[in-house]
Structure 1
Amino acid sequence: MELSVPSDADLLALAEQVAASVQQRRLMLVTAESCTGGWIAKALTDLPGSSAWFDTGVVTYSYGAKEALLGVNPRTLELTGAVSEETVLEMVSGALARFGAGVAVAVTGIAGPTGGTAEKPVGTVWIGWKRRGGYAFAKLFRFDGDREAVRRQTVAAALNGVLKVLTD
């Protein structure tokens, strides 16, 4: 699924919608990010008063960080790699389990310009979501564009998914 590259204003509008939805449900939100480097957390915490509904953001680029901070199984990383459905599901579940939030989003992918393979080209991104007491689910995206375009699209897709999780 391809999305147009969102502007700063688009990301701000999405962040505001997420903030309203999370607050309405009296939840806290946590992010676990790899390819976005904390951009989801930044978009959310750019909003004044975000400490009332944003719990924490964790950036885990390395395998070791994914294991230590989110509880990702080393065997999962060995067998499927960091950019996989299995890894993002463990990331989002670990984030929710380790922090006092009610909803979590996790992202892992290849933003480029290097690092892609024939099987996982640049723009391959897995996003996972989970609400406390619910099931984790993940979706594969293939975004076009340069590193910034891939990351912007990832942030937008992650935030849109949080809205969906909260309204389903």
Structure 2
Amino acid sequence: NGMEFFRYEGDCADVPRVEPCVLTMDGYKEVPVRFYPPQPRLMWLKLDPETGIGEPVPFGDNTIEFTSDMLKGGCASTTVIVHNNSNRSLDIGKIGGLDPLEEPFAIMDDTCSDTTLDFQSDCTFMVNYCPSDNGQYTDTFDIPSSDPNYPSQTIEVTGGS
């Protein structure tokens, strides 16, 4: 039905993924192939701050947005669940280690940094937003991992008050 290749070189090394290519096997057998980008091994869930319910979100949808109606006592927070969707363990580096959040944002209650996530397991952290004045704020932070295809994911955080 199909084979999954994690890397390729030789005949198809310079062919962009998703483009057709012909592999030569054993020096004379030609096999038409098409390589597709692999799925990230990590996915994340954004939890609704009101209901606590979350849905899996691809890292392409990488924004956490805080709105003024979410502020309770001047602050708002949301829980992020990081899920290892692969069939092997993944190491998670320090959340925000290379790209830390600046005030008024902060990472709190972090159970993900510097851990190994077994396959199909989760870890969590909270993103806190406590603006001291009115205005729009934007920042980013990174989620590093040992995923060979997606070693770091960048998440954008926005807030308005």
Q: Mark the structure with the bigger radius of gyration.
A: 2
The answer to which structure has the higher helix fraction is: 1
Specify if TM > 0.5: no
TM-score normalised over the length of structure 2: 0.30
The answer to which structure has the higher strand fraction is: 2
TM-score normalised over the length of structure 1: 0.29
Identify which of structures 1 and 2 has the higher relative contact order when contacts are C-alpha pairs closer than 8 Å and 6+ apart.
1
